Structure 1
């Protein structure tokens, strides 16, 4: 280009500071590359990148360096070939299940007590698109096998730790059942995180995370991830390009920042959750506690073997006064913990599933599963555990 000093002021301003000055020293924090588009010296080079003949970046929906850095890190964490990031966890679930099963007419066997919005999505597909999706108790392996063998099945979908009932799935057993019937196993490992275990090492074909939760852990980002083979990654990349659900770079940069302390946070949350669970189990105003770390949990042995002695940071429990009114009084009595609809943050949060995550599920079905009117879910934060317990006790005084 001709001497820039001879260009008009408006042109010089528009073209200024498009690259960083060179100099020695490597930043210890990765750069945030916000650019939507990427310039090339020749059209042939750009064509080669668009055609996947060479690596590179061309447009935000096709990939960006900051998001790619996060995807590489997540793939290493989960021991999978590749990861694709999405704008939310639900976007990740929808993209994978649709692309790899539903859109081709494949049948899905899904966990009955999964996250309420996941089940609502699957049920909507059955109504609107005639998709064959059946729901089973995935901890009942005989029931899973019957469902898989009833008809040719493309996908078995399960959660590592169910939201909010905290059933724990034996991933190796489910993988054997799925593969024995010619199906893939997809595992939503959000509640477990890569710190407790890596489902792919136990036979899962696909690992899904809501990055909004523990991986980011600071309550300020939404995101999702699908990890698996390079074949799965190609299908997911096609979805981000055409459906537009790709994670933006600023969100990716924040997730990278957040996940650096994932191991420290999860260790603290697991330790504190066990402390809270033991306290609740002995409390006269609590009728039942669901936490994989307690010996009376139905899958305690599976959790102990699968997760290496840690049991997650979420505790679910039912009030002895098993009513909506009692649950509301408890929530309104909290001062330290937030009455909030997420998990995995630094701070303790309590959710009432009947009005939030499982609101779309009919009351009779909620009750059948064990989500009664006095049932609550607590995501334990990294505050001092005795302070969390004191806050819970103060709220229970209102029940």
Structure 2
């Protein structure tokens, strides 16, 4: 399974909408769920089947990493199913993390269960992303780890004692999820205790707890900032992967900024995905939001209402939500997202720089942005190897002619067919 970008790296001219968009857009499976399911399937006691998983750079990197440790992953003839056959984990192995936080953070606790040395590295941008808390946590439970960030290596002995770990997860909820996902296979399970500022993106930890329980793992999350996974077998999975609700954000935003109507079929009535916050957020902007048997439908307002939002629990929505705010009827304020400075790029700085390049008026704050709408003009919109920046530029381009998106191919990280879906939506 190749992790190469399927798109060329040249600038992509973001299409401008000539009328309100009216479309139905089917969004592929969730990256967050696909990679969690893959990890659990590799640690399970029998063969698992994932239906409609997301095929993207992040998920194929996860597949390749697990295969390098001994897991067998095959696809159905039509590529709608991935069959995962677990096997004893073995080194030596070299894992390419790309820019995938789920690979660089979820797999060290898994690789600790392998016999032999496993080396990790990734893209240059990934080397700047925080890793130390999860690696230090592994050291405290006896894992031999050399390094505090990419590149690093660890040497496993085929088992991990487990026990109690204290860490500061204020930089990423993935530090907690990483330990929980592998913890059932540790001799004494794992108890993770967070010591630090508020953990961001708590819905992502709730998602991890949910998929663990689906696999028969006992998890106690009844205390704030403490999670306990009991040692136990992990059942095989037979799952249908939900659509990626965060990837749906740009398409639904298209309805808001053009005063149109967009439906995303298959939107779950109940979900642990943080992207479900879109229903509330888009409503605050003044959109009409309806969830029924047809999916989630968003109808754009005549005038976009300025907002004041704490996006702490759904920080990955910040880039697209910022694009909507650029067309609102007054200043908008976003708070609670200081941690996204450590994502694929410093997203707060990137958004301010690129929106201001187009004539916007965006101010960074310590934990967010202030966006004062201005008439914008076309120019190059740099993406900093960040898939969410591509989606932001696409939304801006709907109302601003001449936006040239640099390295649009980086969107392959989570949605390789984004530009195709985008063009089809506008054509619809």
TM range (shorter): under 0.3
> Please, what TM-score do these two structures have when normalized by structure 1?
0.27
Greater relative contact order (CA < 8 Å, ≥ 6 in sequence): 2
- Which structure has more helix as a fraction of its residues? 1
Q: Which has the larger radius of gyration?
A: 1
> Please, what TM-score do these two structures have when normalized by structure 2?
0.26
